[in-house]
């Protein structure tokens, strides 16, 4: 399959890029090793205060708890389905905390950690997966779009929104409270989609202030990254005419630093950046999935050693930046969150049946109003009538 060197078509791809499925390779931006050792990087080094580090830790612990509770709620039949993020906490908290209030996020359906950073009530995430609505938060108020299920479709919305920011004069003014950028999330599987590739082209053509944040968790349901790409994903960006960076997606410091720099570049009017957060989906694609059918437990065990939370905890402890009281307080907070989610999820009310007719259109049509009224009258013929 691979091209041979000396055949006139250039060198063997594997020689140039190395195996696609690796530990991330030497190009990986990393600021905190899995062993909790702090590294320094010539371009993306930052100083973090103890408070910031403890904040990252807390966010990741609580996000993981949200994910674990939601998975359990699905197992108990309280959610129809859940898209797990286990293992991807650092990628999401790092990216989410790099945002400014005026930036806008376009998520997929797995961005629970980014949603957490945007102040979305986790119960609103559960509501979507429980089936009481399609997402109940206000995208403009939170600057966080509704979850998009169609793979990669939101990347085009992100670019269009960024083009709107340009036209509004909110890019490159030098005013830190005004200049804005868009953060577009997607996964390695989505990188195969036409919409994602078209979004790269439009972003490059119009120099749109957008950061494409790909969480390469190695698997598109059962299809490994090798089936998606023969080269490391971040290197694709060059072909579209903008920079691509691979960052250790299990390193919250590195994802924060890289995303922060890429967002600032966009806000300054320098155009799009592709960030590949190299990580691993420790759980299933969704709760309907069985990853033991398609992947080796060795891989999972190997990635467990790169856990995004453990390395921060080790670093904090080793450097005397936390005490037991802090760790216990976070654990207690996680327990409270779990209890709140368990009770709150079950208490989410089902929508009124006739609400299905609301908001199909901004201007209701007569024919739809007639259907609604007809169904209401029909329900009236039963005991209990319209809810």
Partner 1 sequence: MSQRVTLAKALNMGLRRAMEDDDKVLLMGEDVGKLGGVFRITDGLQKDFGEDRVIDSPLAESGIVGTAVGLAMRGYRPVVEIQFDGFVYPAYDQIVCQVAKIHYRSRGRVKMPMVIRIPYGGGIGAVEHHSESPEAQFAHTPGLKVVTCSNPVDGYWMIQQAIACDDPVVFLEPKRQYHADKADLDDQATPDPLFTSRIVRPGTDATLISYGPMVKTAMKAAEAAATEGRSLEVVDLRTLSPLDMTPVLDSVRRTGRAVVTHEAHVNLGMGAEVAARITEECFYSLEAPVLRVGGFDTPYPASRIEEDFLPDLDRVLDAVDRSFDY
- In this structure, what DSSP letter does residue 184 have? E
Shortest reach from residue 141's CB to partner 1, in Å: 8
Interface with partner 1 by CB under 8 A: which range of 38-46, 151-159, 248-256, 375-383? 151-159
CA distance linking residue 245 with residue 238, whole number of Å: 10
The partner residues of 106 in beta bridges, in order of sequence, read: 184
The reply to whether 214 sits near partner 1 by the rule CB under 8 A is: no
Catalytic residue chosen out of the listed positions 65, 265, 281, 372: 281
Is 143 an annotated catalytic residue?
Answer: no
Nearer to partner 1, 146 or 314 (CB): 146
Find the Cα–Cα–Cα–Cα dihedral 183, 186, 191, 196, rounded to 10°. Answer: -50
CB 31 within 8 A of CB 38: yes
Site for partner 1 in 106-135 (CB under 8 A): 106, 133-135
Give backbone dihedrals phi and psi of 40, rounded to 5 degrees, phi first: -125, 145
Query: What would the x/- binding string for partner 1 be over residues 168 to 207, using CB under 8 A?
Result: x-------------------------xx--xx-xx--x--
**Is 285 annotated as catalytic?**
yes
Question: Secondary structure of 204-273 in the HEC alphabet?
Answer: HHHCCCEEEEEEECCEECCEEHHHHCCCCHHHHHHHHCCCEEEEECCCHHHHHHHHHHHHHHHHCCCCCE
377 binds partner 1 (CB under 8 A): no
Which ranges constitute the DSSP H helices of the chain? 13-17, 50-75, 89-97, 112-117, 122-130, 139-142, 153-167, 194-206, 225-228, 236-240, 252-267, 297-304, 308-318, 324-347, 366-380
Segment 310 to 339, residues that bind partner 1, using CB under 8 A? none
Instruction: Indicate which single residue of 146, 300, 314, 327 sits in contact with partner 1 (rule: CB under 8 A).
Output: 146
* Number of amino acids touching partner 1 (CB under 8 A): 44
Residue 39 CA: distances (Å) to CA of 33, 251, 282, 315, 318 = 7, 11, 25, 12, 15
Min dist CB 103 to partner 1, Å, is 13
Nearer to partner 1, 361 or 382 (CB): 361
Among 165, 181, 233, 263, binds partner 1 (CB under 8 A): 165
Complex with partner 1: residue 156 or 275, whichever CB lies closer? 156
Cα separations in angstroms, 61 against 82, 124, 360, 376: 18, 19, 39, 46
d(CA 125, CA 337) in angstroms, rounded, equals 14
Among 66, 163, 254, 266, binds partner 1 (CB under 8 A): 163
Q: How far is the CB of 107 from partner 1 (least distance, A)?
A: 13
Show contacts with partner 1 in window 343-372 (CB under 8 A).
Answer: 358-363, 365-368
Residue 294 a catalytic site member = yes
Establish if 101 lies at the interface with partner 1 (CB under 8 A): no
Residue 16 engages partner 1 in binding (rule: CB under 8 A):
no
Which residues of this protein are in contact with partner 1, per CB under 8 A? 106, 133-136, 138-140, 145-146, 148, 150, 153, 155-168, 194-195, 198-199, 201-202, 205, 358-363, 365-368
Where in the sequence numbering do the catalytic residues fall? 281, 285, 294
């Amino acid at each position: 399959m691979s091209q041979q060197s000396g055949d006139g078509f250039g060198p063997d791809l594997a020689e140039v890029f190395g195996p696609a499925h690796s530990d991330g390779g030497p190009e990986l931006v990393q600021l905190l090793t899995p062993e909790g050792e702090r590294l320094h990087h010539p371009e993306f080094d930052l100083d973090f205060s103890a408070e910031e580090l403890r904040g990252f830790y807390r966010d990741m612990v609580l996000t993981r708890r949200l994910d674990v509770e939601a998975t359990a709620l699905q197992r108990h039949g309280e959610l129809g389905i859940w898209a797990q993020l286990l293992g991807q906490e650092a990628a999401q908290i790092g990216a989410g905390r790099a945002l400014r209030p005026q930036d806008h996020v376009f998520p997929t359906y797995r961005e629970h950690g980014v949603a957490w950073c945007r102040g979305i009530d986790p119960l609103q995430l559960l509501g979507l997966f429980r089936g009481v609505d399609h997402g109940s938060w206000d995208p403009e108020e939170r600057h966080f779009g509704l979850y998009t299920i169609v793979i990669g479709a939101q990347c085009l919305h992100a670019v269009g929104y960024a083009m709107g920011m340009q036209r509004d004069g909110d890019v490159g003014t030098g005013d830190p409270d005004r200049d804005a950028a868009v953060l577009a999330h997607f996964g390695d599987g989505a990188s195969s989609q036409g919409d994602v590739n078209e979004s790269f082209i439009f972003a490059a053509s119009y120099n749109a202030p957008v950061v494409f944040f790909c969480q390469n968790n190695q698997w598109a349901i059962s299809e490994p990254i090798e089936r998606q790409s023969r080269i490391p994903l971040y290197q694709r960006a060059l072909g579209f005419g903008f920079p691509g960076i691979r960052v250790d997606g299990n390193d919250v410091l590195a994802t924060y630093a890289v995303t922060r720099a890429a967002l600032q570049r966009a806000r300054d009017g320098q155009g799009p950046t592709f960030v590949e957060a190299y990580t691993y989906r420790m759980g299933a694609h969704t709760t309907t999935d069985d990853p033991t059918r398609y992947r080796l437990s060795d891989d999972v065990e190997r990635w467990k050693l790169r856990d995004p939370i453990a390395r921060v905890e080790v670093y904090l402890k080793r450097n005397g930046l936390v005490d037991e009281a802090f760790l216990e307080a976070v654990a207690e907070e996680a327990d409270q969150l779990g209890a709140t989610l368990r009770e709150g999820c079950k208490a989410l009310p089902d929508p009124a049946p006739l609400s299905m007719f609301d908001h199909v259109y901004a201007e209701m049509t007569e024919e739809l109003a007639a259907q609604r009224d007809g169904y209401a009258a029909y329900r009236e013929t039963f005991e209990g009538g319209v809810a």
